[in-house]
Amino acid sequence: MLEDKYKEPFVELHRILDCLKQKDLGPALKWAEENKEALNLQGSALEFKLHRLAFINLLKKGTKYQKESIDYARTNFPKFIKTHEKGFYHILFSQCTSLLSSFS
């Protein structure tokens, strides 16, 4: 039988995967924030990609969530500007596309 200290990471991973299947990014974002140093050492963009996905999900909800999506971006993206500049072009394009579609 595995000791709890060895089982816990797998239990946590399973819980996070279940939440992702339900489109709940919260636990994955929390895990990425808690493990950002290890992720950065590996050159991982996981935290940025999760925030980008959360932002895009807000955009998909429509113009009613426009202010919330802008606030989300202002709160969560500044720390990634230097390391993920190319990703910001994608985010800005998404925002512009969302704004333009609201006028049609």
The amino acid that residue 60 corresponds to is: K
Q: Is the pLDDT of residue 94 over 70?
A: no
Count CA within 13 A, CB hemisphere, residue 80: 25
CA distances 68 to 24, 27, 104, Å, are 17, 20, 21
Report pLDDT digits (tens) over 54-84.
988 988 888 888 889 889 988 998 888 888 7
Report pLDDT digits (tens) over 4-60.
778 888 999 999 999 999 999 999 999 999 999 999 999 999 999 999 999 889 888
Domain ranges of the chain: 4-103
pLDDT of residue 96: 66
